[in-house]
């Protein structure tokens, strides 16, 4: 049997399960909130064109408004100033949209401390227990934050000192971007950076280092608990917005059962 026939057969008999890692898109989908002096991303919004009525008797359809970085989405290298002139979202090679993934579960630590930061030593310890980070694949960082994704307030978790959500230290972000063989980082939070990363050095180190090294981000993922630490494959399908800095994406994991 050809490899693709085997895949189709495994999908059919359930020995490979498709896990949807995408947050549903609606007006309630949480979005990042920047300090008021900066431009803000749009919430997702539907605008009805017709619904089997005078405007279109046999059909229902909508226009929609959305930020490129609203809901589960893919950060392209040109999103950050460090990746200025690098690939836009339409130029990300199609071959990068299907890739192996490892899932590092730090949901216990992030549950105890909303400002928990992943360090290089955490990743190295994980690698000695499991396997090396996959060349050409994704590092998905599980924090349990998907459980908060139905509430803007709980998801962003801000107080007078700013948002409190887990992320990576600046040194860890630098190491992942410059030394690890992965193509990008996927997270359950509103962005790849920690809530407090505005005051890190450099500020927003995940964005700064990943984009500057032609790497990618995937955010607002769900259901990572259903993906094993190693062995899964991710299909990430951002809209090919020409010149765009990112796009909402349907993200699926193929998991062997
Ligand atoms: Mn983004």
**CB 232 within 8 Å of CB 254:** yes
| CATH code for the structural domain at 3-24+67-256 | 3.50.30.50
Give distance in angstroms: CA of 248 to centre of ligand 1: 9
Render 90-139 in DSSP notation, one character per residue: GGS-GGGGEEEEEEEE-HHHHHH-TT-EE-HHHHHHHHHHS-PPPTTSEE
> Which stretch of DSSP H or E encloses residue 7?
helix 3-13
* Reported pTM: 0.97
Give distance in angstroms: CA of 225 to centre of ligand 1: 22
pLDDT at position 61 is 98
Give distance in angstroms: CA of 13 to centre of ligand 1: 36
Render 61-78 in DSSP notation, one character per residue: EEEEE--TTSSSEEE-GG
The first and second tokens of residue 215, run together, are 């790497």
DSSP character for 205? H
Q: Which of 223, 198, 200 is nearest to 142 (CA)?
A: 223
pLDDT tens per residue across all 257 residues of the chain = 899 999 999 999 999 999 999 999 999 999 998 989 999 999 999 999 999 999 999 999 999 999 999 999 999 999 999 999 999 999 999 999 999 999 999 999 999 999 999 999 999 999 999 999 999 999 999 999 999 998 999 999 999 999 999 999 999 999 999 999 999 999 999 999 999 999 999 999 999 999 999 999 999 999 999 999 999 999 999 999 999 999 999 999 999 99
Sequence spans of domains, the chain: 3-24+67-256
- Please give the positions annotated as active site: 79
pLDDT tens-digit map of 93-120: 999 999 999 999 999 999 999 999 999 9
Q: In whole angstroms, give the CA distance from residue 22 to residue 40.
A: 22
């Amino acid at each position: 049997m050809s490899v693709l026939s085997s895949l189709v057969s495994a999908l059919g008999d359930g020995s490979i399960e498709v896990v949807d890692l995408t947050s549903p898109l609606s007006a309630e989908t949480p979005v990042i909130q920047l300090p008021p002096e900066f431009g803000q991303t749009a919430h997702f919004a539907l605008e009805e064109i017709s619904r089997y009525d005078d405007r279109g008797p046999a059909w229902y359809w909508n226009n929609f408004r959305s930020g490129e970085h609203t809901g589960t989405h893919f950060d392209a290298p040109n999103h950050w100033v460090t990746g200025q002139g690098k690939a836009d979202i339409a130029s990300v090679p199609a071959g990068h949209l299907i890739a192996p993934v490892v899932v590092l579960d730090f949901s216990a630590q992030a549950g105890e401390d909303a400002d928990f930061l992943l360090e290089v030593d955490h990743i190295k310890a994980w690698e000695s227990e499991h396997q090396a980070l996959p060349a050409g694949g994704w590092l998905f960082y599980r924090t349990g934050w998907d459980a908060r994704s139905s509430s803007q307030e709980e998801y962003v978790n801000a107080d007078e000192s700013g948002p409190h959500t887990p992320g990576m230290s600046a040194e860890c972000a630098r190491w992942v971007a410059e030394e690890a063989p992965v193509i990008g980082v996927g997270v359950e939070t509103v962005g790849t950076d920690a809530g407090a990363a505005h005051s890190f050095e450099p500020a927003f180190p995940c964005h700064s280092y990943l984009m500057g090294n032609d790497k990618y981000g995937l955010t607002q993922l769900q259901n990572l608990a259903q993906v094993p630490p190693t062995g899964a494959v991710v299909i990430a399908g951002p809209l090919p917005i020409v010149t765009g800095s990112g796009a909402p994406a349907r993200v699926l994991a193929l998991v062997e059962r």
